[in-house]
Amino acid sequence: MEQAGTLVLGIETSCDETAAALVYRGADGRGEIVSNIVRSQIDEHAEFGGVVPEIAARSHVRWLDRIVARALGEGGRDLSEITAIAATAGPGLIGGLLVGLTSAKALAAAAARPLVAVNHLEAHVLTPRLIGQLDFPYLVLLISGGHTQFVAARGLGDYAVWGTTIDDAIGEAFDKVAKLLGLGLPGGPAVEAEALKGDASRFDFPRPLLGQKRLDFSLSGLKTAVRQAADELAPVGPGDIADLCAGFQAAVVEVVAARSAAALARFASEFPEVHPRLVVAGGVAANRAIAAALEKVTAVAGAGLVVPSPVLCGDNAAIVAWAGAERLAAGVTSGPEFAARARWPLDGAEMAVPG
């Protein structure tokens, strides 16, 4: 029997965002974001050209209590009104995960409320159910700075990873290309802005693994090709940078489009009675060239396309709270001994999570 509505406090500290949110899940399964506070640490890592784990962990320690207080305050709730506390327990940077999970355990103990340890990837995968009550099964393309995966979401806790990257994540490749061309962090938006000004046909960059049947990605060869082209031109001028970015982005777009078409074909053959839907998640979903290509691919395949808002695509705690609410509704909570884990593959995010 379905219980009454639940109000879940979510905590996210797996990378360089310190985030807390309140999400309400109605008895009918509808989600509502009550508050969603995200503090990016990007300025603290900028001078190092990437996320420094030690700095990230210290910053989470410094900010998390205040961010949680703001999430409660903006929602006009206090801890006694919360049904459960959900926190990302992995995968991610272990120092940050420990900060968030330990705080969540302390809050859960203080408020005598259940704890739900959440897999960060599952939080991204379940996002469309928060915003639109999407039924299983559906296909997810998760493209962020840390992850690149096709996931067939068959049910709650039932995920099949159909493809991943054998080297860099797509967002990471954007960030590395930005860095080698002297553009700022985060690299994705900077490369996209340059690409708009450039000529994509000037460089003939490789399309790694294109034409292969597997649904995996490989980005490091493409990144190396961009580096070599830049080295040959050195010193690169503004026009060169724009053309290099345009060529790089065009290669990524082509590979993402081809892989997505193949993944949708597999989905159609495995779930013939289901109207196929492709959900895009992760920070790279903000890229307009990639989004436009996915619109075409889904239209050709007769599939629906779901792109959550940029705030919900990037790392935030509302999606963690929602994953917690879904698990709670299914009767799954975690004991205080639940350990943070730097690695936690999505196909290991089973419902009976080990302690």
Contacts to ligand KG4 by CB under 6 A = 15, 144-146, 171-172, 174-175, 186-189, 192, 282-284, 286-287, 314-315
Q: Which residue has the tokens 């967002």?
A: 171
Closest to 192 in 3D by CA, of 171, 167, 217: 171
Separation between Cα atoms, residue 212 and residue 68, nearest integer Å: 46
Q: Which residue has the tokens 């690299």?
A: 187
127 makes contact with Zn ion (CB under 5 A): no
Residues 272-331 that bind Zn ion (CB under 5 A): 315
Q: Which residue has the tokens 């640490």?
A: 41
Query: Minimal distance in Å, beta carbon 315 to Zn ion?
Result: 4
186 binds, among Zn ion, ligand KG4, none (CB under 5 to 8 A by kind): ligand KG4
Separation between Cα atoms, residue 324 and residue 318, nearest integer Å: 10
The smaller minimum CB distance to ligand KG4, of residues 260 and 333, is found at: 260
> What number of other Cβ atoms are within 10 A of residue 1's Cβ?
3
The smaller minimum CB distance to ligand KG4, of residues 195 and 225, is found at: 195
Separation between Cα atoms, residue 170 and residue 253, nearest integer Å: 10
Query: Minimal distance in Å, beta carbon 59 to ligand KG4?
Result: 15
Query: Minimal distance in Å, beta carbon 172 to ligand KG4?
Result: 6
Query: Minimal distance in Å, beta carbon 188 to ligand KG4?
Result: 2
**How would you label 159-182 residue by residue, b for 16+ Cβ within 10 Å and e otherwise?**
bebbbbbebbbbbbbbbbbbebbe
Q: Which residues pair with 115 in a beta bridge?
A: 85, 334
144 makes contact with Zn ion (CB under 5 A): yes
Query: Minimal distance in Å, beta carbon 124 to Zn ion?
Result: 6
As given in the structure block, the two tokens for residue 77 are 């709730």
Query: Minimal distance in Å, beta carbon 319 to Zn ion?
Result: 8
148 makes contact with Zn ion (CB under 5 A): no
The smaller minimum CB distance to ligand KG4, of residues 108 and 318, is found at: 318
The smaller minimum CB distance to Zn ion, of residues 10 and 114, is found at: 10
Q: What single letter denotes the amino acid at residue 50?
A: G
The smaller minimum CB distance to Zn ion, of residues 157 and 308, is found at: 308
DSSP at 208: T
DSSP at 149: E
> What number of other Cβ atoms are within 10 A of residue 241's Cβ?
22
171 binds, among ligand KG4, Zn ion, none (CB under 5 to 8 A by kind): ligand KG4
Query: Minimal distance in Å, beta carbon 244 to ligand KG4?
Result: 15
The smaller minimum CB distance to ligand KG4, of residues 116 and 319, is found at: 319
Residues 61-90 that bind Zn ion (CB under 5 A): none
The smaller minimum CB distance to ligand KG4, of residues 310 and 354, is found at: 310
104 binds, among Zn ion, ligand KG4, none (CB under 5 to 8 A by kind): none
172 makes contact with Zn ion (CB under 5 A): no
Helix (H/G/I), strand (E/B), else coil: 180: helix
122 makes contact with Zn ion (CB under 5 A): no
DSSP at 9: E
Q: Which residues, 6+ apart, have CB-to-CB distance to 210 below 8 Å?
A: 254, 255, 258
Question: Applying CB under 5 A, which residues contact Zn ion?
Answer: 144, 315
